Amino acid sequence: MHVSFSRNGLRLVQAFLFGGLTVAAFCVVADSLYYGSLKLTAGSVHMDTLHKLLDFILHPSQWTQLAYEGTLSWTPLNNLLYNLKTENLAQHGIHPRYVHLLVNLPMLFGPLAFVFAAKFISMIKGAKNDAQAPIIYVLLGIVGISMAGLSLMPHQEARFLAPMLVPLVLLVAWHQRRLPVAFWLLWVVFNIATLYIFGVLHQGGIVPAMAYLQGQVTKVGNCHLLDSSHLTCQLGLSTRTHAMQVQLVDCLGNETCAAETLRQRSGVKLRTDRQFYEIDFAQSTISDAYERTLLIAPNIEPPPQVDGHRYLLLGNYVPHVDFENISIRLVKEGRWKMKLVTPPPSLNVYLLISEE
């Protein structure tokens, strides 16, 4: 048995090395060609499209004419080096390294993850006496190595674990022709619940907010100068008759970035005598230029305070549960229930106005 297990272990290592090196080599060559650091030619034909590359592969008689120039882009190494630097991942969001195991795995696979955890030890022991032990070890290796490797990265999103679905299903159903009814009931309830949470609640305000912003930009016309510092425009179906530039600043939930960006903007004066269909633009620091600054943020946190400015709420889109911004501080202060229930979680669109 010991000899047999050693041979299986050697085959397992060989399978992982072969598969990993093959995928890595493909990624290296594909990225090098795509980003232009490597150029392949066959005779006078420069293989700069997928069609030409496939045509070359399907005609072995041309292989002797293969020539290359440039350098390789080492994709796996570059990916590892980028993801190990916290300052790089801070641009996307930093998470504790236990999030994949304790949050994302149960959230993504529900009952399947718990059944796998309960059967994990028995799977390893049972594989020793199984004729198909190499397959079991490969599946366990995929799950274990993937979980360990992805957990090393401080930026962790649930979608990173999606490829683990197939090995998890195979391991849970191994030598089990039928799963209990309770599992299928839990599976249906779990999927209905997550469908509502991620299909409706989670960031559900983004689409209507984007539609509102599109209307703000594309349906502005009939602009005229009110005085030396204000420009008013009508909102309607008319085509925009003046040049308009839209600048988007994504602060990725960083309140300091948002506050610094807003301090550099001119807030519009609140005109109580204007009609409801008119909007104001503030005089910009650039000559003959005007601006109107909108802030989009979830209501779970108040907008940053900017001296000399206030906010006018233009749009409120419910529901919008931004799980990324449910901070630990809110939970510790006991304010998370109030923030999630009263008022309802939403995505707000604010207009930056001046206190003048």
Residues 180 and 127 in one domain: yes
Residues 347 and 229 in one domain: yes
Q: What is the pLDDT of residue 188?
A: 94
User: Does residue 84 register a pLDDT over 50?
Assistant: yes
Residues 255 and 160 in one domain: no
Residues 263 and 306 in one domain: yes
Residues 74 and 95 in one domain: yes
> For residue range 246-257, what is the model confidence (pLDDT) as tens digits?
778 887 677 788
Confidence of residue 238 (pLDDT cuts 50, 70, 90): very low
Q: Tell me which of 336 and 94 has the higher pLDDT.
A: 94
> Could you give the percent of the chain with pLDDT greater than 70?
81
- Say if CB 320 and CB 206 are below 8 A apart: yes
Residues 215 and 159 in one domain: no
Residues 192 and 212 in one domain: no
Residue at which a domain ends, from 170, 200, 230: 200
User: Does residue 204 register a pLDDT over 90?
Assistant: no
Residue at which a domain ends, from 173, 200, 227: 200
Q: How many domains does the chain have?
A: 2
Which structural domain, as residue segments, surrounds residue 166? 2-200
* Torsion angles phi and psi, residue 55, rounded to 5: -65, -40
User: Does residue 208 register a pLDDT over 80?
Assistant: yes
User: Does residue 98 register a pLDDT over 80?
Assistant: yes
- Helix boundaries (H) for 254-327: 255-263
What value does the mean pLDDT take over residues 324-342? 52
Q: What is the pLDDT of residue 161?
A: 92
Residues 193 and 211 in one domain: no
What is the average pLDDT value for the chain, to the nearest integer? 79
Residue at which a domain ends, from 200, 223, 253: 200
> For residue range 8-46, what is the model confidence (pLDDT) as tens digits?
667 777 877 888 888 888 888 888 888 888 888 887 788
Q: Tell me which of 185 and 222 has the higher pLDDT.
A: 185
User: Does residue 209 register a pLDDT over 70?
Assistant: yes
> Could you give the percent of the chain with pLDDT greater than 90?
9
Residues 45 and 160 in one domain: yes
Half-sphere exposure of 80 (CA within 13 A, CB side): 5
Residues 315 and 241 in one domain: yes
User: Does residue 165 register a pLDDT over 80?
Assistant: yes
Residues 213 and 195 in one domain: no
Q: What would the DSSP string read from start to end of 145-198? A: HHHHHHHTSS---GGGGGGGHHHHHHHHTTT-S---HHHHHHHHHHHHHHHHII
Residues 242 and 195 in one domain: no
Confidence of residue 338 (pLDDT cuts 50, 70, 90): very low
* Torsion angles phi and psi, residue 190, rounded to 5: -60, -45
